[in-house]
Each structure stands twice: as structure tokens, then as C-alpha cells.
Amino acid sequence: MGSVLSIEKLTKTYDNGFAALKGVDLSIRRGEIFALLGPNGAGKTTLIGIVCGLVRLSSGKVVVDGVDIAENYRAARKKIGLVPQELSVNMFESVWESVSFSRGLFGKKADPAHVEKVLRDLSLWDKKDVNIRALSGGMKRRVLIAKALAHEPEILFLDEPTAGVDVELRRDMWEMVRHLRESGVTIILTTHYIEEAEDMADRIGVINRGEIILVEEKHALMRRLGQTRICVTLTEKMDHIPEGLFDRPLSLSPDGASLTFIRMGENDGKDDSLARLLKNLVARGIDFASVTSSQSSLEDIFIDLVGKSR
């Protein structure tokens, strides 16, 4: 897959001297869903703002589908849809006007059928003649999404699209994102709901303090850094772990009632360590009452990564 967006050695120092991006390299593949994760103030919105022409870069290069934004900003911007983090709509326009205007802004011919489809997909059709100020917060957010899709972009940025959004809209939104991806649109999203990234993304990028600290396929990341904590509860308490019981680090709870070990990697059913431990217990006549396991999430991995890079 070719790269649809390429960012090289990108830096941004704001006028007050704050370095928000410190040499970011990032290449986004055509048709992927890429989740950019990072704590508050990491530089996500700044990065997106530069690609979308809202923030001026300090140094570096951004190429959108073969077009350098410094050379032909308008041509590059036309390929991009942005759902911004902050609500930014003209409150006194109707939904229909606002979305149609966005399409015109990027030099696309009017296409009422397309605008209608976008509004229907976002359940905004019955609100099309309503002034935006008369919509609820979640509906205003839907309008922002409609505006971003009005000109049929190839790349869609979603900056915190689900912040303050109800469960139903979140579900609809992700459903729509999947459809867009199937139609070939590349999606770059930021979210603080890491489980959403775990569900949706093909690749994960982590940014912290203006630096990209990781870019990896989601499944590879989960395999590499994921862990399962397995706990065997014993029928009778034990005062020490018998010699040679297990070939891996095993710990006995302080009350002697359970044994715990950590299995690395994604749970793919191929690891037989638990079966071996249980057989060894049976062979020694040690009875157990239950086995429980808890798998680390992308969120655990994320917190660990960001914590380590502080």
C-alpha cells in the first residue's frame, strides 16, 4: 500500500516559544484507519492543524497524496476532510446550507444528491432546514462530520470525534467510519477512549510531548506488549511454591491461597503454559478451585508507554 500522507521532520514552535512538535516523521498508508494517541497537550491537534492548513509549520515537509502543502495548499486541502476537536460552525445557517457551503469551499460542483446522502447517513435529514444553533450538541457534531464529508475527501481526520457524544452517536459514527474505509477513504483519528482505537484502528501511533514514540500495527503491538495475568485459586493454602512446579516465574499470594503468572503476548490460544501448570498441580496432588485470567488492553499498553517516555 502506498503512502497517502507523508510527514517528514515536522516541527512547530508556537509564537510564545513553546515547541509543540519536535521533528515528527509519519507515513499514513492509503485506506488504513490510523489512531493517533497521546495525552493532553501531546501535539495531536497541532499536527492535524498543520496538515489541514490551520496552523503554519515551523520546519519540515507535508505531502498529501503527492502534493506538497507548501507548493499547492489548495490542491492538497481539497483531498482532506476535517472533523475538528472544537465546535466551529456558523450557528445562523441551516444544516443544508452549511454542508452545501463546505462542498463549494473546496471547488466541488454542487451535488444535492451527495449532500442528501451524507445528511441521511448521519440522521440529519429531518433537520436539514433547521438553524444550527437550534440543534443539540451531539447534532452539531454530526453537522461537523457532514461538513467534512461534503466534498468527498480521500483522507478524513477525526480529532476527538466522540468527546461528549452519546453512545448511539458513537456507534453510528464508527459504523460510518467503517463504511468510509470500505469505500477507500483513509482515516486518521485521535481519541482518549482507547478502547475505540483498539476496536477500530489498523495501526496505532503514540505521540508524547511533540514526539512520536511508537507506530505499529495494532495486532503486532498487542502481541508484543500485551499480557495476560493468570490466577489459579487453590483449594488448600500453600506455604511455599514446591520446587520445579513450573518453568516460569510464578508467585504465591501473601495468604497462600492462589498462584499467579503472567503470559506475554496476545491471547491466540497457542500458548499451553496454563495447561502445563495445571497438569503439574494435578501430578502433585494439589487441588485447585478456579482459574481466572485478565488480559491487558491497549489502554494498559498506552499508559505504560507514555509513563516510560516521561
Ligand X SMILES: Nc1ncnc2c1ncn2[C@@H]1O[C@H](COP(=O)(O)OP(=O)(O)OP(=O)(O)O)[C@@H](O)[C@H]1O
Q: Summarize as ranges the residues that interact with ligand X (CB under 6 A).
A: 14, 16, 18, 20, 38, 40-46, 85
Interactions with Mg ion, residue window 76-95 (CB under 5 A): 85
Instruction: Give 184's contacts (C-beta < 8 A, 6+ positions apart).
Output: 30, 31, 154
Closer to ligand X by CB, 14 or 92: give it: 14
User: Among ligand X, Mg ion, none, what binds residue 16 when CB lies within 5 to 8 Å by partner kind?
Assistant: ligand X
* Identity of the residue, 45 or 186, whose beta carbon is nearer to Mg ion in the bound complex: 45
Interface stretch with Mg ion, choices 39-47, 76-84, 220-228, 240-248 (CB under 5 A): 39-47
| Cβ at position 45, least distance to Mg ion in Å | 3
3-state secondary structure of 46: helix
- CB contact at 8 A, 42 and 67: no
Cβ 21 to ligand X, closest distance in Å? 8
45, 186, 208, 227: which one contacts Mg ion (CB under 5 A)? 45
Q: Is 124 left (phi over 0), alpha (psi -120 to 50) or beta?
A: alpha
Nearest distance in Å: CB 191, ligand X: 9
* Closest separation in Å from C-beta 264 to ligand X: 30
* Of residues 18 and 101, the one with the C-beta less far from ligand X: 18
Residue 301 interacts, among ligand X, Mg ion, none and using kind-specific CB cut-offs from 5 to 8 Å, with none
Question: In sequence order, what DSSP letters do the residues of 135-196 get, joined into one string?
Answer: S-HHHHHHHHHHHHHTT--SEEEEESTTTT--HHHHHHHHHHHHHHHHTT-EEEEE-S-HHH
| CA–CA gap between residue 112 and residue 116 (Å, rounded) | 6
| Least separation in angstroms between CB 20 and ligand X | 4
Pairing of strands 3-13, 59-64: antiparallel
What is the chain's alpha carbon radius of gyration, rounded to the nearest angstrom? 25
